[in-house]
Amino acid sequence: MTTKATRAVGVDIGGTGIKGALVDLAEGALLSDRIKVATPRGAEPDDVLAAVRQVLDTLGVADAEVPLGVAFPAIVKHGKTLSAANVSDAWIGFEAEAFFEKGLGREIHFANDADVAGIAEVRYGAARGAQGLTILTTLGTGIGTAMLYDGVLIPNSELGHLQRAGKRKDFEAVAAYSAMERESLDWAQWAARLQDYYQHLQFLFSPDLFVVGGGVSKHADQFLPLLQLDTPIIPAVHRNNAGIIGAAALTVGDAG
């Protein structure tokens, strides 16, 4: 059920952190502090549920008065999680939405994390009014993608898992921000990998716009100018908050 609420809570479950805040749905802006807890090691369902509960308790919104949207780093289809790249395999084929609803004792709205970041940037940010195909990528623990055509989300695109020709690892494994940290790459070394990635996306989809989200987008000036693409590429306006804002926005519109 969607509501006419003007405020909602967004919780963004990531491979590394679980973040939440109260969101103004007219402005797409945070109305509270951003609460963050570490994603429990192994990211098993019960532990993730407990961490989400902790975020809601800290925000003081554990009751069901304010609508709640939850974003998750996996394929989400009809409330079920169908993949698990940076979380426990227990989520594969798991009735995750029903699990959270039962565990939290309230209705939630539930979708993929990159898709909701796409929704946030289309409604309130960098992709507002963008015509044609926008591909938003989140560069974090993994690479998430949202494809939006004339502002309409095509959900569960999973383009971080594109295979590289003749290579064993997918693009996420070598070009996510976590790969830069893990391998202590400098900006130029990382940008060279991003160049391959975005060039491949550009060849496959001929997009009109790339939007780059994830926490590292606050350092966009360190790496976006190093990329040479025909497609415009710009940072997400809501950076690492796009997941929270988009999750909250799920409560008032189509999840796609």
Residue 155 binds ligand BGC (CB under 6 A)? no
Count Cβ atoms below 10 Å from residue 37 Cβ, excluding itself. Answer: 15
Q: Binder to ligand BGC among 83, 217, 231, 251 (CB under 6 A)?
A: 83
Question: What is the smallest separation between the CB atom of 63 and ligand BGC, expressed in angstroms?
Answer: 29
Residue 160 binds ligand BGC (CB under 6 A)? yes
Residue 48 binds ligand BGC (CB under 6 A)? no
> What is the separation of C-alpha 82 from the centre of its chain, rounded to a whole number of angstroms?
16
Residue 183, classified by CB atoms within 10 Å of its CB into exposed (0-12), middle (13-18) or buried (19+), is exposed
Going from the C-alpha of 83 to that of each of 7, 37, 76, 92, 195, the distances in angstroms are: 30, 23, 8, 5, 27
The answer to whether 248 and 56 are in contact (CB under 8 A) is no
Residue 172 binds ligand BGC (CB under 6 A)? yes
- Any alpha helices (H) in the chain, and if so which ranges? 45-59, 96-104, 113-124, 171-175, 177-182, 187-205, 220-223, 242-249
Going from the C-alpha of 134 to that of each of 3, 28, 79, the distances in angstroms are: 27, 19, 25
Binding segment for ligand BGC among 68-76, 90-98, 181-189, 222-230 (CB under 6 A)? 68-76
Q: Binder to ligand BGC among 39, 86, 240, 251 (CB under 6 A)?
A: 86
Residue 144 binds ligand BGC (CB under 6 A)? yes
Residue 158 binds ligand BGC (CB under 6 A)? yes
Q: Which is nearer to ligand BGC, 138 or 231 (CB)?
A: 138
Question: What is the smallest separation between the CB atom of 14 and ligand BGC, expressed in angstroms?
Answer: 6
Q: How many residues does the chain have?
A: 256
Binding marks (x or -) toward ligand BGC, 191..230, rule CB under 6 A? Answer: ----------------------------------------
Q: Which residues bind ligand BGC (CB under 6 A)?
A: 14, 73-75, 83, 85-86, 112-114, 138, 142, 144, 158, 160, 172
